[in-house]
Structure 1
Amino acid sequence: MVSAKAVVTNSAGIHCRPSAKIVEEARDYPGTITVAHGNEATELGSVLELISLALEQGAEVSITVEGPDEERVCERFRELFETHFDFPDARSVGE
């Protein structure tokens, strides 16, 4: 088992689209990936469960990986939680 801390950097937090990308990548992993924030934790198998953690910009999460190639996988998910997902800003759409 390997664990790492990450700080959410996306300005809108981990909302639907980032959650979908994170969970999609987790589904390919044959082990278990768990994310914890405060007193809440979830395995990365459901977009809704990840969204339920209400991860806003600046939130610190703990990522735990159990399975093959744990260190590489843990580092990859730390990077995902610290990604500035470059989705279009809703205010700029239609300008």
Structure 2
Amino acid sequence: MAKTFNFTVTDPAGIHARPAGQLVSKAQEYESAVTLNASDRSVDAKGILSVMGLGAQQGDVIEVSVSGSDEEAAAAALQQFFKESM
């Protein structure tokens, strides 16, 4: 069963190139699939163009869904990453 959590983007510039790249790198550390859902769009968090294409701005709420063999560890690490980096 997938682990999900919500995150509100706090960076005034939204999710731009630098944090998108950091997010992709963090997501790629795990085997689990990581999906970002916002504004009726769903993208793979392991692809830089997908993450940037989401166009997330400050104040947007993003649902993060993690599903796979290491979803517990991946979800915990990503939740911490979002709190510290975005």
Please give the range of the TM-score, normalised by the shorter of the 2 chains. 0.7 to 0.9
Let me know the Cα RMSD of the aligned residues: 1.6
The answer on whether the counterparts of 2:38 and 2:63 sit within 8 Å (CA) in structure 1 is: yes
Mapping for residues 1-95 of structure 1, pairs under 5 Å: 1-84=2-85
Other-structure match for 1:93: none
Question: What is the deviation of 1:26?
Answer: 0.9
For these two proteins, the number of residue pairs brought into alignment is 85
In structure 1, the residue corresponding to 2:12 is in which secondary structure? coil
Q: Percent identity?
A: 26
The answer on whether the counterparts of 1:9 and 1:84 sit within 8 Å (CA) in structure 2 is: no
Question: For residues 66 and 20 of structure 1, what CA distance do their matches in structure 2 show?
Answer: 21
Q: Aligned letter for 1:66?
A: S
Unaligned 5+ segments in structure 1 are: 86-95
Question: For residues 79 and 57 of structure 1, what CA distance do their matches in structure 2 show?
Answer: 18
The answer on whether the counterparts of 1:33 and 1:65 sit within 8 Å (CA) in structure 2 is: yes
**TM-score under structure 1 normalisation?**
0.78
Q: 1:43 to 1:24 in 2, by over 3 A?
A: same
The answer on whether the counterparts of 1:9 and 1:83 sit within 8 Å (CA) in structure 2 is: no
Q: Which structure has the greater CA radius of gyration?
A: 1
